[in-house]
Amino acid sequence: MLSGDKEKAKELLFVCISKNEYFTMAACHHSNYSIKKAQIEINSIYKDELEALGIGSIDLSLLNKKE
């Protein structure tokens, strides 16, 4: 975010999040527990970055499988 390009900073943050072990587990295993745990952990780990970019939280509910 040092460059002042907020959109680029968002892109970089989401690349980091997508490589996070919690995100990977949730995306691969699709259990409600792993998705919820990933969401909590990611929001905790990246709290400062999310706040700096004006993002309240990451919502991983789209990873839930519909039956």
For residues 1-7, average pLDDT: 74
pLDDT-derived band at 44 (thresholds 50, 70, 90) equals very high
d(CA 4, CA 23): 27
Contact 56, 50 (CB under 8 A): yes
The pLDDT tens digits for 10-32 are 999 999 999 999 999 998 887 88
> Domain segments of the chain: what residues?
20-57
d(CA 62, CA 40): 15
Report the 3 state secondary structure along the chain.
CCCCCHHHHHHHHHHHHHCCHHHHHHHHHCCHHHHHHHHHHHHHHCHHHHHHCCCCCCCCHHHCCCC
